[in-house]
Structure 1
Amino acid sequence: MGLSQRLEIRQGQSLVMTPQLLQAIKLLQLSHLDLVAYVEAELERNPLLERAEDEGPAPERDTPEPDGDGFDAPEPEGWAPAEMGADVREIERDLDTRFDNVFPTEGGVPERRDAGGGEPLTMAPGPWTGVGPGGFDGEEPDFEATLAADLGLHDHLALQLEIATQDPLERLVGRFLIDAVDEAGYLAESVEGVAERLSLAPNIVERVLGLVQGFDPPGIGARTLAECLAIQLRERDRFDPAMQALVSRLDLVARRDFAALRRVCGVDEEDLADMIAELRRLDPKPGRAFGGGPVQVLVPDVFVRPAPDGSWLVDLNPDTLPRVLMNQTYYTRVSRAARSEGEKAFVAECLQTANWLTRSLEQRARTILKVAAEIVRQQDGFFAHGVSHLRPLNLKTVADAIGMHESTVSRVTSNKSIGSARGVLEMKYFFTAAIPGMAGADAHSSEAVRWRIKQLIDGEGRDILSDDALVQRLKVEGIDIARRTVAKYRESLRIPSSIERRREKMAMAMA
């Protein structure tokens, strides 16, 4: 077998993942907040990009235009610059100063350019032109900057610490403990951990923690729920031995095991009902009154509204679409001024990036609109009648309908939401699993079945529906579902079991 050399030409297709393509794929799955941050960074980096803003007509000026001499204020009586040169110099000699050096020419004050030549006065522009006695920092005054900020939980506790003790050591330990309090008002770090960080004895930290736990709101700085409730009960002078026993067995309270609680507390049914009602009036999260982090409002990327002919209109939300333009005029000027090879390469890169970004944003908007329109078409029953008419849907069905890859649809629906008369819902909400129907009937959406289970439990009267009873009710309605699936959906809705619901109704009857 001999070896030989030859030339061959082969033709094939392959997908090359260029950096631009990778970035375009990344833009698809960004939320509108992340997209705005990305575009802002590109605007800072690329001088050829500029924000596209809708600018209205310029406001008309109500003030009169300046006169031809450049100064529209009337001149004081007797003021004649061309005839006062000698008098001014005489006053300067008497006062041992010079009037034309009192203010710099760029200070924005009337400047006499030629005292003896008769040239009219003009206003020399400067950073202090038109500024009142308050000064000028380069920006317009911001009224919102003068408003008082809301007092946070840590600041509220720190102010009380300054009043409660003058001991520097106690203030130091108190600040550490206050900083370790989470948004719910609980101490997120152990006393031993704080003591080890400060190289102090744990009993010192424990003493200061007792001081902090006496601050407002009651229950602050607790390490457990039982301790939080105990602090509030002591504040109300209600922490007697029976209540102490009740707080120590909150697990029985959660299970509504009232018979065991009566034995533990040594009280009758009426006293136990009063004690449980007292517990319900307490705040298990005392820190939430001061709020937490900023609430992120879910802004819809797409709006759905009914059309006059009964169909649905799908529109993009313009507030979630950053608009950028490439400044062709500036590119022409900069490219002509570029001299070195490095400058030319930088300008060319900026041009390529600007063109790619504008095209990618436009393509992203079209893709979102296309996917959202297909979701609305598939789930038109939901928008017309509610959750009970939600249909089973998966990514492949939408991808095949619009001629896209399943992964592209997955990226588009990530971190996106649809706003309609039924609220603002994430696009992922409309993709649900299928629950088979009875005797070959149409499948049901898992979300619709979950909603139906909640309806049945909310409508139960004295007869509490067990999971088996729920299965029978659903089978009558044509839904073939297992008992373990009903239990899983019930737990996902945070609905207690039938035994716990029965105990809860007994407790409400006693109250």
Structure 2
Amino acid sequence: MNAVGSTQRLELRQGPALTLTPELLQSIGLLQLSHLELCAFVEAELERNPLLQQAEVDAAPPVSSPASAPPASQVDGTGRLFPFVPARRREAAMAKGAGSSGGSIPGEAREDLEAVAAQPLSLAAHLDAQLALATADPVLRAIGHDLVHSLDEAGYLRDETDAVARRLGRPLADVEAALALVQSLDPPGIGARSLSECLSLQLRERGRLDRPMEILLARLDLVAKGDLAALARLCGLGEAELRARLAEIRRLDPKPGLAFSSAALDLLVPDVLVREDPAGGLAVELNPETLPRLLVDRSYYARVRPAARSEADRTFLTECLRSAQWLARSLDRRADTVLKVAAAIVRHQEAFIRQGADHLRPLTLRAIAEEVGLHESTISRVVANKALGTPRGTIALKLLFGAALTGTSGEAHAARAVQERIRRLVAAEEPGQALSDGDIARKLDEAGIRVARRTVAKYRETLRIPPVSRRRRPI
């Protein structure tokens, strides 16, 4: 028998890789910000950077699109024009950049601080503040920041870690370490990738995650069915102990992120507007009311830099110009991306916008991602904390997405459209004739929508409709 030899060799390969820079993180993070959060962010940049200033509100018309890509931003004599908020005095930013120390807070600044303090804290801001204290490693902190801004409203990470690693150009081990760091933050259960992991994190934080609990969380299907006999055999527990543990699991929070749900959408200020165009179609445009103007003042830079007295001042001005240009490009890309995604959503949901909730179509993030040529996580960030102004009212963009239910003839129905049918059926109940979940399921089946009774019960609970026993009224 011939021995199989083995050799080792060192190869150097060259290939493209995405470097995780602060600018890239800023560009990614801007997509997820609501209008109010974006205003606060840009206000801080205007305060810090003397090369950013307010432009006239009527300097440019709203950016619009007939369900297609938006036109290029306008350019004026001093720089590119971008949508945003009022600036502070450039002299204050210059003094700050040159290293001067401040005294008392002026009245206007104090009012700004009070306004910021009165705003509800978002989940991302809450986690970012903890992340800054949790590690001094800049790589872990940067990846953690990206993960924090990838969480959905309930606090779950829907992206696969290997996909995040490829997107950021970092080793998978770094992403896993950063995710473990995020999952150690408050509230417990944040950053989970599944319900089982979310509950596990909460039990581990309480010191209650032993082997029987792990088995229960691994078989949540049996927990949902109430199969106590099978669970008792798997866990090796008596009935009383098993019931106590199940009660403990039910007291956990399956959606820990909802406690920080942004109040900005309570006001439903539309970021994008939909209107009828002269040809009878729907035109989509960015809301000019939420888009004051911001420009990069190159002429001011050209005047001030030659007069700078020290290398520190010149470096500060150069960094301000670079930062302002990057911010401007990031805001421009954000506006283009939001408009492109909103136009694609409107194309899919045109029947809903024109005719109402019964005509809402099933729609997924992946479908929009494939249509506009962006990553699914990018679509998730665009949809987060944004609202669409339509002739039927202002609607959160995320409400236009939903899973599909198959009808009796094979057609697909949006889950939210089915919920609206359930709501109307209950609203039309006669005294003494309240519909049970089974009755509602049969009526939906007669309308061509096949829905299981337990699904009806889930949708009814989502709509906060009490069960039939509490809806029965005397005739």
Taking structure 1 as the reference length, what is the TM-score of the superposition? Answer: 0.50
Aligned partner (choices 370, 373, 378) of residue 340 of structure 2: 370
When Rg is computed on C-alpha atoms for both structures, the one with the higher figure is 1
Distance 1:54 1:434 in 2: 43
2:435 equivalent in structure 1? 465
Rate the CA distance shift 1:326–1:499 in 2: closer, same or farther, 3 A: same
- SS of aligned partner of 1:410: helix
Is the aligned partner of 1:15 residue 2:18?
Answer: yes
Cα 1:44–1:468 change in 2 (3 A) is same
Instruction: Map 1:136-285 to 2 at 5 A.
Output: none
Shift of residue 309 of structure 1?
Answer: 2.6
The partner residue of 1:45 within 24, 48, 51 is 48
Q: Is residue 423 of structure 1 aligned with residue 393 of structure 2? A: yes
Distance in 1, Cα, partners of 2:425 & 2:57: 52
Cα deviation 1:232-269 (Å, max 9, x = unaligned): xxxxxxxxxxxxxxxxxxxxxxxxxxxxxxxxxxxxxx
Change (3 A) 1:364 1:459: same
What is the alpha-carbon distance in structure 1 between the residues aligned to residue 348 and residue 430 of structure 2?
36
May I ask how many residue pairs the two structures share in their alignment?
A: 270
In the other structure, the counterpart of 1:442 is 411
| Structure 2 counterpart of 1:409 | 379
Cα distance change of structure 1 residues 500 and 432 upon mapping to structure 2, 3 Å threshold: same
Q: Deviations over 1:76-113 (max 9, x none)?
A: xxxxxxxxxxxxxxxxxxxxxxxxxxxxxxxxxxxxxx
* Distance in 2 separating the partners of 1:457 and 1:28: 39
After superposition, the Cα gap between the structure-2 partners of 1:337 and 1:3, relative to the gap in structure 1 and judged at 3 Å, is farther
Aligned residue for 2:28?
25
Q: 1:118 maps to which residue?
A: none
Q: Aligned-pair distance for 1:2? A: 12
SS in 1 for 2:395: strand
Amino acid at match of 2:272: V
- Identify the residue that residue 360 of structure 2 maps to in structure 1: 390
Residue equivalent to 1:299: 269
Give the counterpart letter for 1:362 in structure 2: D
- Whole-angstrom distance in 2 between the partners of 1:474 and 1:481: 7
1-side partners of 2:452 and 2:368: how far apart? 29
Query: Equivalent residue of 1:438, what SS?
Result: coil
1:419 aligns to what SS in structure 2? strand
Could you tell me how far apart the structure 2 residues matched to 1:54 and 1:486 are? 50
Q: Are positions 1:361 and 2:361 aligned together? A: no
Offset, 1:301: 0.2
State the 1:498 CA deviation.
1.9
Per the TM alignment, residue 494 of structure 1 is displaced from its structure 2 partner at its CA by: 2.0
1:37 Cα deviation after fit: 0.8
Using CA pairs below 8 Å that are at least 6 residues apart, which structure has the higher relative contact order? 2
SS of structure 1 residue aligned to 2:394? strand
Shift of 1:322: 4.1
> Any gaps of 5 or more consecutive residues in structure 2?
60-105, 108-262
- Deviation at residue 323 of structure 1 after TM alignment: 2.3
Q: In the alignment, is the contact (CA less than 8 A) between 1:39 and 1:322 conserved in 2?
A: no
Deviation at 1:9, TM superposition (A): 6.0
**Structure 1 residue 296: Cα displacement:** 5.6
Report if the CA contact (8 A) 1:29-1:415 is conserved. Answer: yes
Aligned-pair distance for 1:341? 2.2
Q: CA contact under 8 A between 2:265 and 2:396: conserved in structure 1?
A: no
Residue among 313, 317, 327 paired with 1:343: 313
Report the TM-score, using the length of structure 2 for normalisation: 0.53
Any unmatched runs of 5+ in structure 1?
A: 57-137, 140-292
* Letter in structure 2 aligned against 1:459: A
Post-superposition shift, 1:460?
2.2
Residue type at the aligned position of 1:42: E
1:485-509 superposed Cα distances (whole Å, 9 cap, x missing partner)? 111111222222222222xx21xx5
- The answer to whether 1:320 aligns with 2:290 is yes
Contact 2:57 2:293 in 1 (8 A): no
Is 1:388–1:451's contact at 8 Å kept on the other side of the alignment? yes
Distance change in 2, residues 1:449/1:4 (3 Å): closer
State the identity as a percent.
52
CA distance in 2, matches of 1:438, 1:302: 36
**What's the Cα RMSD here?**
2.7
